[in-house]
Structure formats: C-alpha cells, structure tokens
Chains A and B, each alone.
Chain A
Amino acid sequence: MKHTFTVKGMHCKGCAMLVQDALEQAGAKNIAIKVDEKAQVGTVSCEGNDRASLKASIEAEGYVVQ
C-alpha cells in the first residue's frame, strides 16, 4: 500500500538520508523523498503496510509529519 507524508523540518540531503534510513528500518519499500530546502518541508512517499508505524519512524528522528 502506498503512503505519502508531508514532513516538516527537512532541509538538506542529511535529513533525506535520516528519513530514508528510518523508513527502511520500519520495513518500507520504494521510498522517494523530495526536499524543499527553502520551505524546509519534505514530501515522502513509500510502500508499506502500517501507516502509523511508518509515521512514527519519521517522527522518531525529530521531524513533524503532517
């Protein structure tokens, strides 16, 4: 099942890697991340079963998921 998240506080490639690693550990696949550096917002899409656990894995890195 495909999920899309808008993640506040992402501003560089380091943030993208942190979120990517967190989602991979939570079992997500086909992860795509776009970061708007100026707005400091990331658009994250991935495939996985449990949306709540994917969201929690991003939030555990200190970001706010809308």
Chain B
Amino acid sequence: MNTTLYVTDAECESCEKVLGRAFERIGAKARFDGIKVELTHEPSITIEQLFDVVRSRGYSATLTPPVPKRWHDHIGDLEKLLVRNVIVTLAALAILQGFVIGPLKGGAWLQQYGLWLGLVDIVAVSCVAALWHLRSYRGTVTCMTGMMLGMILGMQSGLLFGYIIGATNGFFLGALIASAIGIFFGYAAGNCCGTMGSVQGMMAGFMGGTMGPMIAVMLAASGFGLFTPWFFLVNIALLWTFSVLLMQHMGDKPHERIRLDFTTFAAYCIILAAAATLVIIFGPRGPGVI
C-alpha cells in the first residue's frame, strides 16, 4: 500500500534520515522528494500510525500539499519593524538636515538643492533597509537568488545615488562616488550566496553607478522636467522588489530570523545620507557654505 505525506518542516537530508529510520521501525519504506514523502507499507499500518511517527520526531505532516504562499503572506513582525524604522529614520534625517544644513547660506540655496537632499535621504534609507532585511535572514539562498539580490541592490543604489550626485556635481564625481556605493551594496547583498553573487553585485553596482550620473548629465541639457520623479519612483520601487524577492525565496525557510537593532540601522542611514549630503554641498559644483 502506498501513502503520500507532506512533511512541511523537513529541511534537509538529516531530517530525511531521521524520518526514514523512524518509518523503517514500523515497517514502512520512505522515499523523499523535498517535503513530499512517498511511503510503501503494509495495509495493516494505518495513516494515524504514520502521522504518529512524524509527530514522535517533532515534525508535522499533511495529506495534501501545502498551498504555496504569496510573498505578502510572509510579511511578519520583522517587516513591520522595518517599515517603522524606515519612517522614523526618514523623519530624523529630515529634521537633522533642517537644523544642521538649513541655516547655512541663509537657506536660500535649499530651493535649488532641497529636492536632491530629500531624495538622498529616501535613497539612503531604502538601500540600508534592503540590506537590513537581507541580514535578518540567517538561511542560505540559491546562487541564482543571491546573484539577483546582489544585482538589484548594487544596480539600484548606484543608479539612484549616481543620478543625484551627477545632477548636482557632474559626471566625474557622480560616477566615482556612486560606483563605489553600488559596488559596496552589490557586494554586501550578493555575498549571501558566496563569491558569484558578490561579483555579480559589484559588476551591477559599477554599472549603475556610472549609468546614473550619465543619465543625469545628459538630461541636464534639456532640463530634468518630470523625468526626475518618474526615475525615482520607478527605481525606488524596483529597489523594494528586493524585499519581495527575499520573502518569496526565503520566507518559507524555517531558519531563525534575527531581530537587528534600530540603532545600527539608523546609524548606517545617517552616515550614508550625511556623506552624500556633504558631497552634494562641497562638491566642485555644489553651493558650498560660505
């Protein structure tokens, strides 16, 4: 007689070994295919006995395959905490900029640079939030997922910072700073699957970091117009798909999640936003402070 069970929390070969031996002890032979377990046993062994074997080893099983979860089904306490951290940090950055930079040069230059400084805050917080989200997972990812994660964060961070610095300070400085930022984020995100992801992330980071200022410099001739809000809307949305991908590919992993602290998150955001702000103000085409 054949029975198929789905052991939803069996993670690896060790789990298969443990369950396989437990089934053997009651005379059932198990064949594993992921969470699907095909059992061959005597008709005298009841389904309840098979479930008892699974439960006795601390696992849980169903007779029907589990319904695949969508990405938003994985939104949990950590994601809610992340959104809260993002909002609080953005508010803190806006207040800091208002008090520290606002009074410089009488604040008049903010009419010209206020938009870019605001965008710097949003981009810095979005990039750090994506990395924070990744770091909260302890499990490993497949090479393909890791490469994609590295590529998204590397490319988007480079593009977004590059556009801002390129628009305010020209191509050279924009490409120099943004490609460094892109390479850093690409490496940090891609590293989750090893060297291949890191390399992919760094390449994408360099590409984004040079393309961002190139777009900005080319647009400057004809005027930024409505392209700037469109550019940031699309690219920040693409940056947040990082979290969607993460939840789709890692949400089901039963590995323990780490609750990262708010102070570190806020510190990274402030350092990144402050560094980019300084570049915008003190760069060769920036307003300076005198």
Contacts and interface: CB of A to CB of B under 8 A. Distances in A.
Interface in B20-59: 21, 57-58
Given A37-B255, A37-B256, A14 B138 contact: no
Contacts of A12: 11-12, 14-15
Given A17-B57, A37-B255, A11 B18 contact: no
Interface residues of B, number: 15
A18 B14 contact: yes
Interface string A1-44: 00000000001111101100100000000000000011000000
A38 B11 contact: no
Contacts of A11: 12, 14
Given A14-B12, A37-B256, 8 more contacts: A12-B14, A14-B11, A14-B16, A14-B17, A14-B18, A15-B14, A17-B57, A21-B21
Interface of B: 10-18, 21, 57-58, 138, 255-256
A21 B19 CA distance: 12
A17 B18 contact: yes
B256 A14 contact: no
Contacts of B138: 37-38
Nearest to B21: A21
Interface of A: 11-15, 17-18, 21, 37-38, 61
Nearest to B15: A14
A15 B14 CA distance: 5
Contacts of A17: 14, 18, 57-58
Contacts of A21: 18, 21
A11 B256 CA distance: 12
Contacts of A61: 17
B72 to A, nearest CB: 26
Contacts of A13: 15, 58
Nearest to B255: A37
A18 B256 contact: no
B258 to A, nearest CB: 9
B255 A14 contact: no
24 contacts: A11-B14, A12-B11, A12-B12, A13-B15, A14-B11, A14-B12, A14-B14, A14-B15, A14-B16, A14-B17, A14-B18, A15-B14, A17-B14, A17-B58, A18-B14, A18-B17, A18-B18, A21-B18, A21-B21, A37-B138, A37-B255, A37-B256, A38-B138, A61-B17
Nearest to B11: A12
A17 B17 CA distance: 10
A8 to B, nearest CB: 13
Contacts of B16: 14
Interface centre among B10, B12, B14, B256 (most CB of A within 10 A): B14
Nearest to A13: B58
Contacts of B256: 37
A13 B13 CA distance: 11
The list of the 5 closest CB pairs from A to B, nearest first, reads A14-B14, A14-B15, A15-B14, A17-B18, A14-B18
A11 B58 CA distance: 16
A15 B13 CA distance: 9
